[in-house]
Chains A and B, each alone.
Chain A
Amino acid sequence: MKYSIRLTIAHYYDLPAANSRHLIRVLPRTLLGRQKLTTHLLEVFPEPESKAEGVDFFGNTTHSCAHRDQHKEMSIRLSCHVEMDAPSLWQDLSPSIQRLRSDHDTLTDLGPTSPLHFLGPSPRLPPNSAIRDFAKDLYQPEASAVETVIRIGKALHETMTFDATATTVDTDAADAFRLQRGVCQDFTHIMILALQSLGIPSGYVSGYLRTLPPPGSVKLEGADAMHAWVRAWCGPLQGWIEYDPTNATLVGTDHVVAGYGRDYSDVAPVRGHLRSSGGQSNTQAVDVAIAG
């Protein structure tokens, strides 16, 4: 199956901005046996004075661009094709949480996929006792890691209400949890904290969600903008699994991965720095369609 993805991010400045610099992480990744980026075009308007492509610590593609002259808006447009492999069958090979915890004391690899990076705390996610208690209540010592991930994801989905107006990109996970409302970023942050509190390494995935569901299915939340979900490490045999707490589902071919990180700050689609004395408003539009 092949997706055609289009993304537009626009920033509007109340007063002209100058000397701006942005770091963009929007390009889908190529993941062996799962998804492959075949073609892509990334454009920035106005045309930046300088542009550079790079790869960050976690292997995500970055684009940096700089605008020196004054401008009142800046937009980023991506269009690309991604080929998805058919999902392979899998079974639960994960150990109990207890075993998993003693496993990670023996880990010594510090490469980008190492679970060691995902035990917390990370820049946006200091430990939180309310979320820890939430996870503790759901903890069953004999359950496998995969079962625990799914149990916590489902419980979180039931506790939280999807509400695009309750939070912003800067909302703390602890605040969203107290409100019991939020968007995919909040669901994901809370679930990461919950899993980490049990000793399950877990991280943040940013990406895209198929806009129109397959016939007979319901439309998923989060398809109108870039989406976020969780990945959790379930032992050396199982490796990483991905779970979307906003839609209470394990991740299959409806989800296209753009970035892996510890929390939002590692994979924010746009990180920017500019000189302007006024406010700013942003818009984002995403379309993920089946291409042939």
Chain B
Amino acid sequence: MQSPQPFTSGQIGHELLASYCAQGAMLNDEMVLPDGTVKPVWASFFDHLSRLSPDELGKRFLRGDQYLRDAGVLYRQYDETLSTEREWPLSHIPVIIGEDEWQVISDGLIERADLLEYILQDFYSDNTLVASGQLPAKLLSRNPAWLRPMVGVSKQGGHLLNTLSFEIGRGPDGKWWVISDLIEAPSSVGFAVENRIAMSRVFPNFFAGANIHRLAGYFQEFQQTLMNMRGRSSGEVALLSPGPMNQNYPEHSYLARYLGLLLVEGEDLIVQDGKAMVRTVGGLKPIALLWNRLPSTMFDPLELDSSSMLGAAGLVEAIRTGTLRTVNMVGAGVLETRALMAFIPKIARARLGRGLALPNIATWWCGQDSQRDHVITNIERMMVGDAFSTAPLMADPRTRDFSEISDVSYPQHLANKIKTSGHNLVGQEAVTLSTTPAWDDGKMVARPMCIRISMVRTEDGWAVMPGGYARISAGDDAKALAMQRGGKVADVWVTSPRQVKTPSLLSVSPTAIPHSLPHALLPSRAADNLFWLGRYVERSEQNMRLFRAYFARICDGVDHSDVIPTFIRDQLMAGVEPKASAIAARFGEPLELALQAASRISDRFSPDGMMALRGLVQDAKMLDRQHVQLEDTPVQISRLLRQVTGFAGLVHENMYRSDGWRFLSIGTSLERAANMCDLLAACLLTEPSSGALDLALEVGDSVVSHRTRFQIAANARSVTDLLALDPSNPRAVRYHITRTKEHIAKLPTQQEDHHMSHVARQVLLLETQLATSEPEAISSKGLNRLKQDIWSISDTLNKYHLA
């Protein structure tokens, strides 16, 4: 390695370090030793960092953020009614841990994972832990996370835990502690890959030369594990998500796409003859393995929580019959019970003859006299929370830290509560965390942190993700509970003194999930959303064209009450008020709906497409709010129209020709054909002299085509010919019926024989009718009938493929 230029970097580095240490960072810090020197594993990175000017750093951080935005990595926040998407809170300074220390952590967590497996097996079979007095019976009998219907339902000789994560922190003595076992709780490690890519954009030069363990190998092992669990079954491997209203949906959608899994929701699933099936556009297909990301109690409304709208009835029976396997047994969440941590040390000693190498934070269950007394005596050093809570400590707002409560009477109040309903309460030592560098307001500051580590059980034992995901506190309070107040996410680098292997997930092994594109399974729900996405965008475009036509006339001095403006409002816009905001809502609302539909299928829709759509919605809102000068309106709307066309182009140029793309295209075509019928029917009915026919050509974007084809002024015949019957005009009804016919012919059918499906027959009849019609024979009434026929195609399509 080249020796660094000692003068410049040394100088900046010295100042950087001095100001960092001046905050008292040296007490228990990841980067700095108590003597104020940088730890060896951080040295080369710190050196690199100290050579970059603040300007340069700022630019690089933006590059990382830009990557995350482009990749569609977002953080979703929910309050009572609505969800907002926020930028991913990447902390641009990594946490660096040497591979030797990482190995020690990994070994400790593997030992813990094996103990958890043993405990889980016992909970759902013989209950010897309770029988032998190692665990109070009430911790199961009163525990809503212990699912009685799952007792005795062992997975065919397999393990009950297949993947889990841990949240760990480093205490003041330098030792690591487990803060939470994350089994059903979301781990967010799905985004570790994106954090890593973003960081490689922030520090490209450093990254290339540093020996940082890559993450991709872990995900390959994960994928392989799923394939092995599926075994020889031909069924699908799917990830079961609570759906877009859940704040972890972006991660589910990301993981499904990254690992090539089918993303399903409860309503996609049905159980038949004891087998779990997914409803797809090609009929029911079997599921062999479900990676369940619902809370276990929600998995099956028939045998578990009957109020569940998320799961599917009969899934437990499918597990019982052995046709369905799940990643982590349903009911494994009982291991997250907070009070269990009070007994894990004892169970470990009984089983291993010693304590765990990586113990959890000290915990006391107030349902036992001695433990309760300890909590009451030491209340000032305790966090007290719900004994049966399965929420991770950092995400459970009901847990209180008593060192922080100023009301002096409160501890007494709590002590009383502990005495009367102790079995519902648990005390945990109020641990403090180590700090790590973060960048805040142009300065390097020390912030408390904890790390999430994930593992998967492969055929050769547990594989631990080498690095990943750290949470960085927003403030400098090192109390673990302060993490609840949010903060940032940092990439964890596990570094080696040697060259590391560099696998890439792009080179997946040939045995990995073999999807037979383009007929890769498309759940009916996803197809339905794509279909509506197509329809809404098209509906919005049609209304933008009407808006432009309307205001072009107003700008020319035509009055709102004149013939054509009145005609547009009454006949083509359902009698909307003559106000710009009301008319703009005609395209703004469908755009919002389009965005909603798209966000429900973000696993099947490119991040580019989502971004384009999001931009479109935002710009449309601007136009609505900004009080654009009247004379500028047509120009502004033309810009929006170009964006819509750009979106359509993106979809049609970049989207894989899958069934999903076909449903989107069919949605667009049917909506456009039906809208054209409406437009034409209304225009044919009005006086030829009113200019309605010219309006039809204008809104139908066919003014130039008309001039080229007919070289005469527009008349009923020429306009009908061009907008209804022309097979080459992408604005004409016939053009879109033909396209629909072609798409439908390529959809998977549920019947094997040569008979045409009902919907294929319907659309062929309609196409033939249009192909054999003369323009003179097309009346306003006929167009209305045609529109009914088009929606009838949509209904049949719904019944056959989307229901």
**Residue positions of A touching B, CB distance < 8 A:** 19, 21-23, 49-50, 52, 54, 56-58, 64, 66, 68, 107-110, 114, 116-117, 119-121, 123, 265, 271-273
* In the bound complex, CA of A49 to CA of B275 (Å): 12
Contact status B272-A50, CB under 8 Å: yes
How many chain B residues have a CB neighbour from A under 8 Å? 28
In the assembly, what is the distance between CA of A23 and CA of B304, in Å? 12
- What are 14 A-B interface contacts by the 8 Å CB criterion? A49-B273, A50-B274, A52-B317, A64-B317, A66-B272, A108-B137, A109-B127, A109-B137, A116-B141, A271-B302, A271-B306, A273-B301, A273-B302, A273-B313
Known: A110-B127, A265-B306. A116 touches B271 (CB 8 A): no
A-B contact count (CB 8 A): 65
Residue of A nearest to B421 (CB): A127
When A64-B314, A64-B317 are in contact, do A123 and B305 touch as well, CB less than 8 Å? Answer: yes
Per-position binary interface string of chain B over residues 131-152, scored 1 when its CB falls under 8 Å from any chain A CB and 0 otherwise: 1110001101110000011010
Complex: A193 Cα to B662 Cα, angstroms: 58
C-alpha spacing A120/B270, complex, angstroms: 33
Contact B141 A117 (CB under 8 A): yes
Instruction: Judge whether B400 is part of the interface by a CB distance below 8 angstroms.
Output: no
Residues of A close to B140: CB separation below 8 A: 110
Q: Find chain A residues with CB under 8 A from B271 CB.
A: 21, 66
Min Cβ gap A264→B in Å is 10
**A56 adjacent to B273 (CB under 8 Å):** no
Alpha-carbon separation in the docked complex, A25 to B321 (Å): 19
Assess whether A121 is in contact with B274, with CB atoms less than 8 Å apart: no
A56, B149: Cβ atoms closer than 8 Å: yes
Residues of A within 8 A of B273 (CB): 49-50
Q: How far is the CA of A58 from the CA of B149 in the complex (A)?
A: 9
Query: What's the Cα separation between A108 and B133 when bound, in Å?
Result: 7
Find out whether the CB atom of B137 lies under 8 angstroms from the CB atom of A57. Answer: no
Asked if B314 and A108 make an inter-chain contact with CB atoms under 8 angstroms apart, the answer reads no
B141 touches A68 (CB 8 A): no
Query: Per a CB cutoff under 8 Å, which of B130, B272, B313, B320 touches A110?
Result: B130
- In whole Å, how far is A170's beta carbon from the nearest beta carbon of chain B? 11
Q: In the docked arrangement, what's the CA distance between A109 and B301, Å?
A: 28
On whether the beta carbons of A54 and B317 are closer than 8 Å, the reply is yes
Tell yes or no: B726 within 8 A of A by CB. no
Contact between A109 and B313, CB atoms less than 8 A apart = no
In the complex, what distance in Å separates the CA atom of A123 from the CA atom of B140? Answer: 15
Do A49 and B141 have beta carbons less than 8 Å apart? no
**Is B694's beta carbon under 8 Å from chain A?**
no
Are A49's CB and B272's CB within 8 A?
A: yes
Nearest B residue to A273 via CB reads B313
With a CB–CB cut-off of 8 A, which chain B residues contact A56?
Answer: 149
**Residues of chain A within 8 A of B131, CB atoms compared:** 108-109
Which residues of B from 464 to 483 have beta carbons under 8 Å from A? Answer: none
Minimal Cβ-Cβ distance residue in A for B275: A50
Contact with A along B621-654 (1 / 0, CB 8 A): 0000000000000000000000000000000000
User: Cβ of B317: which chain A residues have Cβ within 8 Å of it?
Assistant: 52, 54, 64
Chain A residues, Cβ within 8 Å of B138: 116, 119
In contact, A108 and B306 (Cβ under 8 angstroms): no
Known contacts being A108-B137, A110-B130, A116-B138, is A66 close to B314, with CB within 8 Å?
yes
Bound CA–CA A119/B140 (angstroms)? 12
Q: Chain B binding site: helix, strand, loop or mixed by DSSP?
A: loop
A119 and B142 contact, Cβ closer than 8 Å, known pairs A50-B272, A110-B130: yes
The answer to whether B320 and A54 touch across the interface, beta carbons within 8 angstroms, is yes
B589 at the interface (CB under 8 A from A): no
Contacts A54-B317, A116-B141 known; list 19 others, CB within 8 Å. Answer: A49-B272, A52-B317, A54-B320, A56-B149, A57-B149, A57-B151, A64-B314, A66-B272, A68-B270, A109-B127, A110-B127, A110-B140, A117-B141, A117-B148, A119-B141, A123-B305, A123-B306, A265-B306, A273-B313
Instruction: Give the distance in Å from the alpha carbon of A275 to the alpha carbon of B273 in the complex.
Output: 18
A185 to chain B, nearest CB (A): 15
Give Cα distance in the complex from A63 to B245, angstroms. Answer: 34
Closest 5 pairs between A and B when the two form their complex, measured CB to CB: A273-B313, A116-B141, A57-B148, A21-B313, A50-B273
Interface 0/1 of B111-138, CB less than 8 Å to A: 0000000000000000100111100011
Q: Select the residue from A52, A108, A116 with max chain B CB neighbours within 10 A.
A: A108
- Cβ of A58: which chain B residues have Cβ within 8 Å of it? 148
* Complex Cα spacing A114 to B127, Å: 13
Q: Is B142 a contact partner of A121 (Cβ separation < 8 A)? A: yes
**A21-B313, A119-B142 known; A110 and B137 CB under 8 Å?**
yes
> A107 touching B313 by the CB < 8 A rule?
no
Within 8 A of A (CB), among B277-322: 301-303, 305-306, 313-314, 317, 320-321
A50 contact set on B, CB distance < 8 A: 272-274
Nearest CB on B from A56, distance (A): 7
Chain A's closest residue to B267 (CB) is: A275
A52-B137 contact given A21-B314, A121-B142, A273-B302, CB 8 Å threshold = no
- Interchain CA distance A57-B331 in the complex, whole Å: 14
Nearest-Cβ distance from residue A199 to partner chain B, whole angstroms: 13
CB neighbours (8 Å) of B314 from chain A are 21, 64, 66
What are the residues of chain A within 8 A of B132 when measuring CB–CB? 108
Q: How far is the CA of A109 from the CA of B133 in the complex (A)?
A: 11
User: Chain B 247-289 against A: per-residue CB contact (8 Å), 1 yes, 0 no?
Assistant: 0000000000000000000000011111000000000000000
Asked if A21 and B302 make an inter-chain contact with CB atoms under 8 angstroms apart, the answer reads yes
In the complex, what distance in Å separates the CA atom of A49 from the CA atom of B272?
8
Give bound CA distance, A64 to B273, whole Å. 10
Q: Contacts A23-B302, A116-B138, A119-B141 known; A52 to B274 CB distance under 8 Å? A: yes
Partner of A107, one of B137, B142, B274, B306: B137
Determine the chain A residues whose CB is within 8 A of the CB of B127 once the complex forms.
109-110
- How long is the Cα–Cα vector from A37 to B273 in the complex, in angstroms? 27
Q: Measured between alpha carbons, how far is A58 from B127 in the docked complex, in Å?
A: 16
**In whole angstroms, how far apart are the Cα atoms of A66 and B148 in the complex?**
23
Nearest-neighbor residue (CB-CB) of B152 within chain A: A57
- Chain A: which residue is nearest B297 at the CB level? A123
Q: Are B272 and A64 in contact (CB under 8 A)?
A: no
A54 CB contacts on chain B under 8 angstroms: 317, 320
Q: Give CA–CA (A262, B695) in the complex, Å.
A: 71
For the complex, what is the distance from the CA of A49 to the CA of B313, rounded to whole Å? 15
Chain B residues with CB under 8 A of A110:
127, 130, 137, 140-141
User: Closest residue to B300 on the A side, CB-wise?
Assistant: A273
A19 vs B149: C-alpha distance when bound (angstroms) = 23
Please indicate the chain B residues that have their CB under 8 angstroms from the CB of A114 in the complex: 141
In Å, the complex CA distance between A109 and B140 comes to: 11
- Report chain B residues within 8 Å CB of A109: 127, 131, 137
Which residues in B have their C-beta under 8 angstroms from that of A272?
A: 302
Q: How far is the CA of A49 from the CA of B137 in the complex (A)?
A: 41
| Bound: A50/B313 CA distance, A | 13
**What is the bound-complex CA distance between A109 and B127, given in angstroms?**
8
Cα–Cα, bound, A273→B141 (Å) = 27
| CB < 8 Å neighbour of B137 from A23, A116, A123 | A116
Q: Which residue of B lies closest to A58 (CB)?
A: B148
Q: How far is the CA of A77 from the CA of B573 in the complex (A)?
A: 56
Could you tell me the distance in whole angstroms from the C-beta of A44 to the nearest C-beta in chain B? Answer: 15
Separation of A265 and B144 alpha carbons in the complex (Å): 14
A66, A68, A109, A265, most chain B CB atoms within 10 A: A66
Please, which residues of chain A bring their CB within 8 A of the CB of B306?
A: 123, 265, 271
